[in-house]
Amino acid sequence: TTHTPEFLGLDGSNGLWSESDGADDVVVGVLDTGVWPESRSFGDEGMKPVPSHWKGECESGTRFNASHCNKKLIGARFFCSGYEAAYGRVNESKEFRSPRDQDGHGTHTASTAAGSFVADASLQGYARGTARGMAPFARVAVYKVCWQGGCFSSDILAGMDHAVADGVNVLSMSLGGGVVPYYRDGIAVGAFTAMRKGIFVSCSAGNAGPDPMSLANVAPWITTVGAGTLDRDFPASIVLGNRVRYGGVSLYSGSGLPRGKLLPLIYAADASNGNKSSNLCLANTLDERLVKGKIVLCDRGISARVDKGNVVKSAGGAGMILANMAANGEELVADSHLLPAAAVGRRVGDAIRRYVKASRKARATIEFEGTVLGVKPSPVVAAFSSRGPSSMTPQILKPDVIGPGVNILAAWTGVAGPSEMKADTRRVDFNIISGTSMSCPHVSGVAALLKGAQPGWSPAAIRSALMTTAYTVDNTGAPLRDVATGNDSTPFDHGAGHVDPQRALTPGLVYDMGVQDYVGFLCALSYTPQQIRLLVKSNLTCTKKARLRSPGNLNYPSFSVVFSSHHDHFNRSATVVKYTRTVTNVGQGASKYRVAVSAPPTVKITVKPTTLSFQSVNQKRSYTVTFIAKRAAPRLTAAASFGSITWTDGLHKVRSPVAIMW
Amino acid sequence: DGEAAQTYIVHMSKSFMPSSFESPDRWYSSLVESQSQSQSVLYNYAQVLHGFAVKLTLAQAKALEKTEGVLAVHPETVYELH
């Protein structure tokens, strides 16, 4: 990517960068749509020999053989037996039956995590700069498990099975499904073993925001990554016939609209061929006679944004303005449309809709203004980023963190256009796309750097470092905002906050965990021994010692409290919740930490003890947090309050977000 | 439809493997053959779980679930890119 290293503070040669020694012994496994090996992002110039622990292979198939691998791309496998069992044999004239990436998604995510340096990268001039992954010297191993018909759990499990055996150190998975019990969820089942073997697993949180409880990949042994914006934008101005100018975004790079000339503007709802959904510019809904030569205002929703542009283009439209609805708020996601087009937020969309309605001869033009940096405020939580609380285990706060996931430039396949549509015959080396799929590999790459710098840290320790050092204010100094509402975002939106790689290198304290902790968590969920065995893969019983008092008692770096009007099954009043945590000193030897609590007015939070003293590195100290509801459940059933618990020694700030629900 | 086949993930307990089998893979194959002559194991899993993936009818899956050594038989699910 061309700007996220700077945005994440990874552009210097000190700190995490030098401490990790480039993380060149670290292998990032990416389960996705495969890889385009000819991309310069997978060049291996100057790279050291393949790590000796590596057991992976490069498998042959359609237009792919072992010679496509090198010292950067050290593994490439494909898994299609589950897919073929459902759909029949892969049609090799339409889809590569090999690790080669048809789609572009896998090439994009792999290069984001660990792509090599590529000078002068851009998408047709947009976002120009030197592209690189977050861990540019780490190795990449791709496991193609997603095909045109989806990603089948039998293939995903096979990919994970091989990734573990091959010796990956980090697993990056930008995919997900519905929420099911952990023992039935292939990703959670596979990730448990990976975690047990010391592999850090990061997964995308999903793009089902801003609806609450819309998260995927919520198992506590997985790091769940939401998406935020960068301080980069691709502005386009919409100039109306009344001379009012509005801001939008666009990645359009063609010949543009006639200079200095306003074209007729029509709202798609007024250009229907009889279909009621024409406002959304769905296929076969526009009347060509009404659209031809005009700029068409389309509402966002239902179909892909680029598809709407194609519908307008096919109907003879000269351009498109794509206006957000309430669900997307002011979020501006730029697309590489096939016709001159710009996206605008809801407020601007409403203003343009009003203008069109009020004007008999509505006119407009779009002016494309390239790339700008330094946008404020940023980061902002993306509207599409899935939100907590976790519907599976509300006592575990998810997502864990957010990372850059909006308008991300990274490498692309050689067989698909930047809009990903069949009709798009353009071919580009890099593409700009958005999603939690894009934020996940950022965190995977940062985790690879941390793994390089701190090889002894467990996956839980790495996640803890990422979470407790994450920041919650934007580049204006104000609390992080949610672009869907314009309001401050909450830990249900951003988790612990936005990742801060340099600070994650020196977290001071970590909330460490191992298999036994997770077993205690599963026991607290009242899973049967057989269900636990499906995850843990060994015989275990939930002894009194092993069982946590509640799932929220897991040694997690965040707190999620659920008050209820009932007594819990230990007959304790559920208006008092008590959690214990144990922190491990990973800073300098002797240190003394003091606690600072930020509590919502409705809840009393007490921490005991209030100071933690350490004499040596790796020493552990425990503390207890008591949450007491000051009043009965608020009338609103979805009511939630938020706070934080921060331990400081003057040098480090170890911050845990707190979410409280009734 | 009990006759429509789909892929199942079969979780096994290796401790139940009869000594006559040289490897879990052979054991899994024999279990599948006992349910269906026309189907074969799609994948054997050795790391992330002990077990295999196989395409079966619902009736065959239910019968397999009752076999000694089988911990669970879960229908395959489809995930999507984010």
The DSSP secondary structure of A385-437, one letter per residue, reads S---S-SS-TTS----EEEE-SSEEEE--SSS-TT--TT-----SEEEE-SHH
* pLDDT value at A523 more than 90: yes
Half-sphere exposure at residue A156, Cβ-oriented, CA atoms within 13 angstroms? 27
Q: How many residues does chain A have?
A: 662
Which residues of chain B neighbour A530 with C-beta distances below 8 Å?
71-72
Q: Both ends of chain B: CA-CA distance in Å?
A: 31
Task: Report the pLDDT averaged over residues A364-379.
Answer: 96
Task: Provide the pLDDT for residue A634.
Answer: 60
CA atoms of A141 and A630, how far apart (whole Å):
52
Please tell me if residue A495 touches chain B, with a CB cutoff of 8 Å.
no
pLDDT tens for each residue of A445-478: 999 999 999 999 999 999 999 999 999 999 999 9
Please tell me if residue B71 touches chain A, with a CB cutoff of 8 Å.
yes
Structure tokens at A2: 């061309």
Interface test with B, best of A157, A173, A527 (most B CBs within 10 A): A157
Which residues of chain B neighbour A85 with C-beta distances below 8 Å?
7, 42, 55
CA atoms of A192 and A182, how far apart (whole Å):
10
Please tell me if residue B55 touches chain A, with a CB cutoff of 8 Å.
yes
Inspect the interface and report whether the beta carbons of A533 and B71 lie closer than 8 Å: yes
Task: Report the pLDDT averaged over residues A630-657.
Answer: 84
Pick B82's closest partner by Cβ from A33, A81, A204.
A204
Listed residue (A346, A371, A404, A345) closest to A123, CA to CA: A371
CA atoms of B31 and A228, how far apart (whole Å):
49
Structural contact between residues A431 and A554, judged by C-beta atoms closer than 8 angstroms: no
Structure tokens at A653: 């700030």
Q: What is each CA distance from A246 to A240, A241, A321, A332, A355, in whole angstroms?
A: 8, 12, 11, 13, 12
Inspect the interface and report whether the beta carbons of B7 and A82 lie closer than 8 Å: yes
pLDDT tens for each residue of A551-565: 999 999 999 999 976
The distance of B20 to chain A (nearest Cα, Å) reads 23
Inspect the interface and report whether the beta carbons of A161 and B43 lie closer than 8 Å: yes
Structural contact between residues A402 and A557, judged by C-beta atoms closer than 8 angstroms: no
Pick A174's closest partner by Cβ from B49, B77, B81.
B81
CA A334 to chain centre: 17
Which residues of chain B neighbour A174 with C-beta distances below 8 Å?
81-82
The distance of A488 to chain B (nearest Cα, Å) reads 25
Which residues of chain A neighbour B25 with C-beta distances below 8 Å?
none
pLDDT tens for each residue of B54-79: 999 999 999 999 999 999 999 999 99
Structural contact between residues A355 and A376, judged by C-beta atoms closer than 8 angstroms: no
Catalytic residue positions of A? 32, 105, 437
**Residues near B15 by Cβ (< 8 Å), separated by ≥ 6?**
none
Structural contact between residues A280 and A303, judged by C-beta atoms closer than 8 angstroms: yes
3-state helix, strand, coil split of chain B in percent (to 5) is 30, 35, 35
pLDDT tens for each residue of B4-61: 899 999 999 999 999 999 999 999 999 999 888 888 899 999 999 999 999 999 999 9
Strand, coil or helix: what is A325?
Answer: coil
- The region, left, alpha or beta by phi > 0 then psi within -120 to 50, assigned to residue A160 is alpha
Please tell me if residue B47 touches chain A, with a CB cutoff of 8 Å.
yes
Task: Report the pLDDT averaged over residues A354-370.
Answer: 95
Structural contact between residues B57 and B65, judged by C-beta atoms closer than 8 angstroms: no
Residue A197: how many CB atoms within 10 A of its CB?
15
Task: Provide the pLDDT for residue B1.
Answer: 47
Inspect the interface and report whether the beta carbons of B82 and A156 lie closer than 8 Å: no
Sequence-separated contacts (24+) of A277-281 with Cβ below 8 Å: A277/A302, A280/A308, A281/A308, A281/A311, A281/A312, A281/A320
CA atoms of A338 and A345, how far apart (whole Å):
20
* pLDDT value at A567 more than 90: no
Match 């089998």 to its residue by tokens.
B21
Quick one: pLDDT band at residue A632, thresholds 50, 70, 90?
Answer: low
Task: Report the pLDDT averaged over residues A483-496.
Answer: 96
Task: Provide the pLDDT for residue A19.
Answer: 84
**Residues near A457 by Cβ (< 8 Å), separated by ≥ 6?**
A450, A451, A465, A510, A586
* pLDDT value at A104 more than 50: yes
A186: nearest CA in chain B? B77
Structural contact between residues A49 and A534, judged by C-beta atoms closer than 8 angstroms: no
> What proportion of chain A, given as a percentage, has pLDDT over 90?
89
Match 């920041």 to its residue by tokens.
A471
Q: What is each CA distance from A55 to A49, A75, A165, A337, B48, in whole angstroms?
A: 14, 9, 7, 42, 17
**Residues near A252 by Cβ (< 8 Å), separated by ≥ 6?**
A236, A336, A337, A339, A340, A341, A342, A366, A368
Task: Provide the pLDDT for residue A638.
Answer: 52
Handedness of CA A64, A65, A67, A69 (dihedral sign): positive
Q: How many residues does chain B have?
A: 82
CA atoms of B49 and A441, how far apart (whole Å):
25
**Residues near B42 by Cβ (< 8 Å), separated by ≥ 6?**
A81, A82, A85, A154, B7, B52, B53, B54, B55
Inspect the interface and report whether the beta carbons of B79 and A186 lie closer than 8 Å: yes
Task: Provide the pLDDT for residue A623.
Answer: 98
Inspect the interface and report whether the beta carbons of A177 and B9 lie closer than 8 Å: no
Please tell me if residue B38 touches chain A, with a CB cutoff of 8 Å.
no
DSSP string of A265-297, one letter each residue: EEEGGGSBSS-TTGGGT-TT-B-HHHHTTSEEE
Backbone dihedral angles phi then psi of residue A251, each to the nearest 5 degrees: -115, 20
Pick A154's closest partner by Cβ from B43, B46, B81.
B43
Q: What is each CA distance from A486 to A329, A384, A422, A489, in whole angstroms?
A: 8, 14, 36, 8
> What proportion of chain B, given as a percentage, has pLDDT over 70?
98
B6: nearest CA in chain A? A86
* pLDDT value at A79 more than 80: yes
* pLDDT value at A636 more than 80: no
Strand, coil or helix: what is A358?
Answer: helix
Inspect the interface and report whether the beta carbons of A530 and B72 lie closer than 8 Å: yes
Strand, coil or helix: what is A55?
Answer: coil
pLDDT tens for each residue of A271-295: 999 988 899 999 999 999 999 999 9
CA atoms of A450 and A329, how far apart (whole Å):
35
Please tell me if residue A572 touches chain B, with a CB cutoff of 8 Å.
no
Match 């340096």 to its residue by tokens.
A117
CA atoms of A489 and A643, how far apart (whole Å):
12
* pLDDT value at A144 more than 50: yes
Quick one: pLDDT band at residue A437, thresholds 50, 70, 90?
Answer: very high
Structural contact between residues A154 and A95, judged by C-beta atoms closer than 8 angstroms: no
* pLDDT value at A570 more than 70: no
CA atoms of A537 and A602, how far apart (whole Å):
43
Inspect the interface and report whether the beta carbons of A165 and B9 lie closer than 8 Å: no
pLDDT tens for each residue of A212-231: 999 999 999 999 999 999 99
Q: What is the DSSP letter of A127?
A: E
Task: Provide the pLDDT for residue B48.
Answer: 96
The distance of A165 to chain B (nearest Cα, Å) reads 7
* pLDDT value at A635 more than 70: no
Quick one: pLDDT band at residue A544, thresholds 50, 70, 90?
Answer: confident
CA atoms of A453 and A456, how far apart (whole Å):
9
* pLDDT value at A329 more than 60: yes
Task: Provide the pLDDT for residue A97.
Answer: 98
> Which of A186-200, A583-597, A635-649 is predicted least confidently?
A635-649
Q: Both ends of chain A: CA-CA distance in Å?
A: 42
Half-sphere exposure at residue A425, Cβ-oriented, CA atoms within 13 angstroms? 0
Please tell me if residue A435 touches chain B, with a CB cutoff of 8 Å.
yes
**Residues near A64 by Cβ (< 8 Å), separated by ≥ 6?**
A37, A58, A76, A96, A98, A99, A100
Strand, coil or helix: what is A323?
Answer: strand
